[in-house]
Amino acid sequence: MKLSRRSMISVTSGTLASLAFGRAAFAGTVVKVSLWDKGATSMDAMDTLMPMGMAMSGAMMEMATMGITADTLEIPSGEVTFRVVNESQEFYHGMVISPVADPLRELPYLIDEMMVDEVAAGAIARVKELKPHDSGSVTVDLQPGSYILYCNIAGHYVMGMWTMVTVTA
């Protein structure tokens, strides 16, 4: 499923949006997602670390100062609700979902903005920026394939704030 930037689903502060009309809230699979960082040292490290976006050359994910953790990385196809919590003590974070055709290929990245080009990446849904300790959720109908969950606040993605999930038939 491909949505334009204008029709992309946006959800914040626990609000639920569903792509399938007439389905009960939180029906299907629920994936718990944690958005985290290592505090002020996260931003201090920004100038010294190699970019850590998906398939970026030289990425050393063990050095990431920000990240996204999902409680499951393999999800059955169909309706999936992502319940997202910003575990940070001080930074805003969000979550975008994009399909991935080739995990060995970098996402389209806007260097000057330090952000993924969500339209070019085919973003299908997002949880808007969450302040520390806030939560949000989004429900999408996912087909089998690979998807990336990433924070698209300037600089966060290349600091390691992403994870891959696989949707199975």
Residue ranges per structural domain of the chain: 9-18+27-168
- For residue 44, the model assigns a pLDDT of 61
Residues 99 and 68: their CA atoms lie apart, in Å, by: 16
- For residue 47, the model assigns a pLDDT of 57
Tally of residues, the chain: 169
Among the ranges given (32-41, 95-104, 143-152), the one the predictor scored with the smallest mean pLDDT: 32-41
Q: Which two tokens stand for residue 23?
A: 């389905």
- For residue 54, the model assigns a pLDDT of 87
- For residue 16, the model assigns a pLDDT of 40
- Segment holding 136, helix H or strand E: strand 135-142
Of 99, 107, 163, 161, which Cα lies nearest the Cα of 129?
161
- Segment holding 42, helix H or strand E: helix 40-44
- For residue 57, the model assigns a pLDDT of 77
Query: Could you tell me if 127 and 137 are in contact, meaning their C-beta atoms sit under 8 angstroms apart?
Result: yes
Model pLDDT for residues 39-98, shown as the tens digit of each residue: 877 666 555 567 888 888 777 788 888 999 999 999 999 999 999 999 999 999 999 999
Residues 53 and 156: their CA atoms lie apart, in Å, by: 9
Task: Please give the CATH topology (third level) of the domain spanning 9-18+27-168.
Answer: Immunoglobulin-like (2.60.40)
In terms of DSSP bridges, do strands 78-86 and 29-37 run parallel, antiparallel, or are they unpaired?
parallel
Q: Which amino acid is at 33?
A: V
Among the ranges given (58-62, 106-110, 143-147, 159-163), the one the predictor scored with the smallest mean pLDDT: 58-62
Residues 92 and 76: their CA atoms lie apart, in Å, by: 30
Mean confidence (pLDDT) of the chain: 84
Q: Which amino acid is at 25?
A: A
Model pLDDT for residues 7-30, shown as the tens digit of each residue: 344 444 444 443 334 344 446 999
Residue 160: which region, alpha, beta or left (left: phi > 0; alpha: psi -120 to 50)?
A: left
Note the Cα 148 to chain centre separation in Å.
6
Q: In this model, does residue 157 exceed pLDDT 90?
A: yes
Residues 105 and 57: their CA atoms lie apart, in Å, by: 10
Compute the average pLDDT of residues 122-129.
97
